[in-house]
Amino acid sequence: MAGKALRLGMVGGGEGAFIGAIHRAAAALDGDWRLVAGAFSGDTDRNRRSGEALGIDPARTYDSLDALLAGEQALPADERIDALSIATPNHLHAPMAIAALDAGFHVFCEKPMALDLAEARQIAAAAERSGRHFGLAFTYSGYPLVEEARARVARGDFGKIRLVQVEYSQGWLSQAIDRDGNKQAEWRTDPARAGLGGCLGDIGTHAFHLAEHVSGLRVSEICADLSIHVEGRRLDDDVNVLLRLDNGARGILKATQVAAGDENGLKLRVHGEHGGLEWAQMEPNTLTLRWLDRPTEVLRAAGPGLLPSTLPLLRTPSGHPEGYIEAFANLYRAFATRIRGGEAWFPSVSDGLQTMGFVETVIANAAGDEKWTTLPGA
């Protein structure tokens, strides 16, 4: 931590929610943030219980986002929140982010950025006119060995990149639990709350962002197939996309939530002229480098041979596993650094716009007769 902790407010993420607790743990890990206010649920009793459980002053446990923004603006500058964390279902991301930015607060938002590209552009405009920072929780880009992979590609270790393959395989939606009272499944398969894509928006966006982030390339064209395997489901639960990247490389993106028995199998492979790399989220402390003309190398978190840009993202000695919370925390730390005027990278507006453009293009291509469809701005 550099200096006094910044003050954080949160909307959503209350009692019974999954991602809110992750955001809170990540924000607190390095002491850069202190949660001081929130509107944690639209249910009055659940909101109150959430605030009490988190030790929030009852006067700053607000009934709504509007009340939170008004209440915080009324406080002295050295007491009000510095930023708002948005941990709600997707349909609330854009209106809440725009309101908070226009009220003068920085925003760190759960992904995806919005329901569609038009909403994402509205957020971008709000960030521009407010002069405030907007961060997105593309968590996997915060892993130390993902940074190692990105930096090695960027310095040309593998030569010109030719192939990018990314897979994100889950099985938790293999059955119709969205119709059996599972809250997390219910909203993720509801077009009104999840947006245009089901699996595509939920985990396909993570896979897409990881592929572009590590390869340093932009996807320019796609050819897509979307499927619904669970009868009665309204949004895709299986995604297959061929990719053309802007340097001529080719790629494949596979995302599914109906691979029965799979947990959280996010895997990335990038190959160039001279070799390639492989990283898997369920073994995040290992990065494998394969070469055309020499033996395979296996790098370990905090082990020898890592590049300088990776080292600040590590917290423990070699052999002591770091994981999901720590990767998330790296993004919150970078976000705090930028607010304090320093230099640090975190997923932001451009990443969100590119990802929402990908979602809309995949859906249009899968539904239409066009073989290849160009992404917006490509």
Question: Are residues 18 and 184 in contact, defined by beta-carbon separation less than 8 angstroms?
Answer: yes
* Domain identity same for 188 and 99: no
In terms of domains, do 173 and 125 share one? no
pLDDT score for 378: 67
According to the model, what pLDDT value does residue 8 have?
99
Instruction: Specify if 268 maps to a domain.
Output: yes
Q: Specify if 183 maps to a domain.
A: yes
Q: Are residues 128 and 79 part of one domain? A: yes
Q: Do 65 and 198 lie in a common domain?
A: no
CATH number, residue 198:
3.30.360.10
The whole domain housing 114 covers 6-136
The CATH number that applies at residue 39 is 3.40.50.720
Question: Are 360 and 224 in the same domain?
Answer: yes
Summarised one tens digit per residue, pLDDT across range 26-62 is: 999 999 999 999 999 999 999 999 999 999 999 999 9
Interacting residues of 187 by C-beta distance below 8 A, sequence separation 6+ = 89, 193, 194
Q: What pLDDT is attached to residue 377?
A: 82
144 falls within a domain = no
Nearest to 29 by CA among 321, 318, 284, 325: 325
Positions in the chain whose pLDDT score sits under 70: 1-2, 378
CA separation, residue 147 to residues 113, 232, 310, 330 (Å): 22, 40, 6, 11
Are 221 and 363 part of one and the same domain? yes
Task: Output the pTM of the full model.
Answer: 0.96
- Contact assessment for residue 106 and residue 339, using Cβ atoms and an 8 Å cutoff: yes
Instruction: Specify if 308 maps to a domain.
Output: no
Tell me if 167 is assigned to some domain.
yes
Evaluate whether residue 205 is within a structural domain: yes
Amino acid at 98: I
Q: For the chain, what is the domain count? A: 2
Q: What's the pLDDT score for residue 138?
A: 98
**What is the structure's pLDDT at 3?**
72
